[in-house]
Structure 1
């Protein structure tokens, strides 16, 4: 037994390192751990692979499809915009309504999907009140996390925990099991975000803009521009051309065919065909190219396209889109050249912003990370769905988004019926949601191809693989072994202290690695410890469940990563705002859990 415990502990330690450092994509790391468990005989192949046939996989996949149906109809965005108009010109009322809407939608729709829709809306509202988005974006991210913890389907972590419980003789969660504790946290959390958070989020002078456009035009991008034959820069030194005197533009590097990259100096003579790597806000970059008759490198590539793919110069200059790279994006950890962004998806990468980092290489060879903000230019008429397909979040509302009323009603009825049937009958929620996903196609809300695009296969693979870790911690005896040591220590303390201990432990771990991986490790440990001490396990299960969703103190949570770049936050901002919210959640757990699940 001890040999298996040591072996599993080493594999678990390796997993924590892989998840924290993100050496490989999360799903690859999870698959690697699963294979190690099989190769070391901790799990049999059938035990390891059975996780992929788990109901949670079917449920989460079905939810992806139904959410895609809701998004396609424009229903969620329409409801948000309508209710925000009702809120009027009162800043705090509008802010409160926005947070409540996001929390409501996040309870039934994935946090990431809700936030992707809400970011452009929040930016637009901040503009109308003359405020920096920094005051709005972190609170809406936290609101989505608060809403998601209230239902079974609000977060995949709750679904995974629910699937683990029957292995210990406990019942699955129902749709609203977690809301007994989550609702008080949600109400208090929104009050905190509305009344207090704005004073904890520092805003520098550069953030104090009269409009969001001003704020976002101050964002610095790196771009490549080429010197053409008629440019006044040809055969002139950098000093003669006064390039060093350009207040809002920095020339970082000069690239000349056949030469290594050149650091610009005053006496360097510029020539036709040289490519300048420059930094500045997008408006100043556009003004700079016009002043010196330069061309963005990607624009020159576009002009080589066939005639039917060309558009007017005016259109090309106007149609710039700022988009945020999410963790699920196919661009994450890849270059624009590797994904054939221009040729396959008809988008030119014009510029890139990486918070706190200046890019010093050709844009096509820059490895793009989650949280980067890109300026892209469509080569053809923009298909709004292309951003969602690529895992990009536009930072401005797209005019092409349409509200399809009849389809929206059908999609809403299907979604509500699927959840209600699963909650109110004996039919498993996975079955009713799968039926809802099928109905989305039968009723022409989605086409079959959109189903495969809607499902985030990386997440399903990750969950299927990580569930094997939950089995292994039990079968290896590690959970019982650790619980034995913990029980010797915790048995001397009150149940409330034990509840707080597991909450704090889970919160600290989930700040560093994924919520799902944290839950898979902590749930078996909590249940075994409760049994060793002689307590009922459900109070500790609920403490771990709520804590796994309290990812407020670091930007590593995917939802927080969505706002980290656009908001211009620092790491310390999340600690400052998130710590108090986490402490409030801890108090709520200690006070409310025993009322619903006595020890």
Structure 2
């Protein structure tokens, strides 16, 4: 054993210690790996830092941005609402719809994002249909992980495995090369999950997101602007199309109240709609969608022209929407919004009101404020700094949600679809295709540049960049071949299916304490070297290792998606094993068999 091999083993042991103990975060551990390999000379500087420019790292970044574009334009919300609509009222139908959706989304976006997005939807389905959340959430999180086996970009581990195969001189996997195997795992996994649902407890926990966004019915006024696409549309049809976005509680035309129960009522220019909506929808209202906040439409320009005391023009480039909680004994209590005249007295507009108890059916200007009312204000940062100093409001804080550019939903969907098609048909290399899609998503303003950067999970990017040179060093030092030769001396007489099962099992166990990416990078090089020595298919071996790393469900700590549903489902540790153990056994057998058929 030479010096570089000794250095590598020391670095490997240290990396495993930090990955498992979490004494250092995964990104810090990855940087430590890169620096250690470069300083010791195990790899030269170019090789040590090659992970940052690698295809897997670039594709993961691009997919994060593409996913952010879908979220920013409301595409993911539309999907979530469709799931809630078609989930039915029984446990079986709800699980089928939820699992199918998350598996499909996880094939092209990060499964953790999909699980987080669908968690409040599943909790709502549980609450509205009286289905125990424990019977929905483990199946949902498991389906999200299974969905990553449907495409090459579903999980970073597959991208890393593909890189290892290409370095070994093997044919590269294409975007849908693993789809036949993934389809078997998804379909078989669904059947097994539905058959074993009875082993899960009938409990329901709380979704922390529900607590965070309890202000879910804001009263506001919407105006039908000139050239709105809703002009000439019947109120009945309008209500059906916007039912998931807001509830109409009143309507006015030329200051006359109209009954919203009239079957023949047709929307006209300047109609005023009194509605209840969510904070998310309030922030997402855009005149390009055919509706406008009445107070902003009517007084917004006047607010921007207002001048402060020093006589200098007020610059309102980025208006803020802020929540103000009316304080006890505030001078606002008992006065109507119109009497207070927020525009001239405070320099802001009232665009909505939330009240914990009671109903609001009047125009905003006629609403008499009470202690504890949450007033939604529209204005600029400078003005809110001034208002924050007075005693009218107990709390004044920005709404912690982002507006959705729903008018760009079709464009964002088209960009995502085009990226997938270009990669699948190999018109462009996958990393170029998805990076181009991410660029276009930002260039067309489907997602803002700051939000695009925020969407990239830097820890995951740096971890991938760090584990790639670890695998490269294992190959370069000859340790992968050495481990493979020693292993061959023990199991060379085993049948091919048993050898494949052995490598799958090693990855399935190791991924319980390491990430799927780290597990793949450590075992796949050994699998390639072993396969070449034994005249087996390196591709079949590496695919078994990768599936073992990404689709092993023995414990809740093996997948971060499981940790997301642990509390909301009110699960115990053993609950994951009840479904996870039989499912992992099925996946092992199916993977070995199908991989042998496809690449054996």
Alignment partners' CA distance in 1, 2:204 and 2:525: 48
Shift of 1:2: 4.0
Deviations 1:310-348 (A, max 9, x none): 4225989969xxxxxxxxxxxxxxxxxxxxxxxxxx9xx
Q: Do 2:420 and 2:434's aligned partners in 1 also have CA atoms closer than 8 Å? A: yes
Q: Does 1:576 align with 2:578?
A: yes
1:428 paired residue number? 429
2:54 paired residue number? 54
Q: Does 1:123 align with 2:137?
A: no
Q: Do 1:80 and 1:98's aligned partners in 2 also have CA atoms closer than 8 Å? A: no
Shift of 1:463: 0.8
After TM superposition, list the pairs within 5 Å mapping 1:240-279 onto structure 2.
none
Is the alpha carbon distance of 1:559 and 1:533 closer, same or farther for their aligned partners in structure 2, counting shifts above 3 Å? same
Uncovered stretches (5+) of structure 2, i.e. residues with no partner: 212-321, 329-352, 358-383, 385-393
2:79 paired residue number? 79
2:401 paired residue number? 384
Shift of 1:200: 2.0
Shift of 1:91: 2.9
After TM superposition, list the pairs within 5 Å mapping 1:1-12 onto structure 2.
1-12=1-12
Is the alpha carbon distance of 1:545 and 1:378 closer, same or farther for their aligned partners in structure 2, counting shifts above 3 Å? farther
Farther off after superposition, 534-543 or 114-123: 534-543
Deviations 1:31-76 (A, max 9, x none): 1122222222211112101221112222111111111000111212
Deviations 1:426-485 (A, max 9, x none): 410111111111111222212222221121222111111111101111111110110010
Alignment partners' CA distance in 1, 2:561 and 2:52: 25
Shift of 1:116: 1.2
1:548 paired residue number? 549
In structure 1, the residue corresponding to 2:325 is in which secondary structure?
Answer: coil
Q: Do 2:467 and 2:521's aligned partners in 1 also have CA atoms closer than 8 Å? A: yes
Shift of 1:380: 2.2
Alignment partners' CA distance in 2, 1:84 and 1:69: 22
Shift of 1:511: 1.0
Farther off after superposition, 145-154 or 437-446: 437-446
Alignment partners' CA distance in 2, 1:483 and 1:562: 37
Match of 1:311 among 319, 322, 325: 325
Shift of 1:504: 0.3
2:540 paired residue number? 539
Alignment partners' CA distance in 2, 1:449 and 1:193: 40
Q: Do 2:90 and 2:131's aligned partners in 1 also have CA atoms closer than 8 Å? A: no
When the two structures are aligned, how many residues end up with a matched partner?
Answer: 431
Over the aligned positions, Cα root-mean-square deviation in angstroms equals 2.6
Alignment partners' CA distance in 1, 2:428 and 2:421: 10
After TM superposition, list the pairs within 5 Å mapping 1:127-276 onto structure 2.
127-196=127-196, 198-203=197-202, 207=203
Is the alpha carbon distance of 1:540 and 1:25 closer, same or farther for their aligned partners in structure 2, counting shifts above 3 Å? same
TM-score (norm 1): 0.68
Q: Do 2:539 and 2:599's aligned partners in 1 also have CA atoms closer than 8 Å? A: yes
Alignment partners' CA distance in 2, 1:151 and 1:597: 16
1:558 paired residue number? 560
Shift of 1:87: 4.0
1:418 paired residue number? 419
1:37 paired residue number? 37
Is the alpha carbon distance of 1:507 and 1:378 closer, same or farther for their aligned partners in structure 2, counting shifts above 3 Å? farther
Q: Does 1:594 align with 2:596?
A: yes
Farther off after superposition, 477-486 or 456-465: 456-465
Shift of 1:422: 1.2
Alignment partners' CA distance in 1, 2:162 and 2:468: 12
Deviations 1:530-574 (A, max 9, x none): 111122211101111211112311222221221122222222222
Alignment partners' CA distance in 1, 2:398 and 2:40: 54
In structure 2, the residue corresponding to 1:311 is in which secondary structure?
Answer: strand
In structure 2, the residue corresponding to 1:380 is in which secondary structure?
Answer: strand
Alignment partners' CA distance in 2, 1:176 and 1:551: 21
In structure 2, the residue corresponding to 1:566 is in which secondary structure?
Answer: coil
Is the alpha carbon distance of 1:541 and 1:213 closer, same or farther for their aligned partners in structure 2, counting shifts above 3 Å? closer
Alignment partners' CA distance in 1, 2:540 and 2:571: 36
In structure 2, the residue corresponding to 1:481 is in which secondary structure?
Answer: helix
Shift of 1:378: 8.5
Alignment partners' CA distance in 2, 1:553 and 1:488: 30
Q: Do 2:507 and 2:549's aligned partners in 1 also have CA atoms closer than 8 Å? A: yes
In structure 1, the residue corresponding to 2:552 is in which secondary structure?
Answer: coil
Alignment partners' CA distance in 1, 2:439 and 2:484: 44
Alignment partners' CA distance in 2, 1:534 and 1:153: 28
Shift of 1:587: 1.1
Alignment partners' CA distance in 2, 1:462 and 1:565: 27
Alignment partners' CA distance in 2, 1:189 and 1:427: 33
Alignment partners' CA distance in 1, 2:439 and 2:596: 40
Q: Do 2:87 and 2:98's aligned partners in 1 also have CA atoms closer than 8 Å? A: no
Alignment partners' CA distance in 2, 1:107 and 1:200: 28
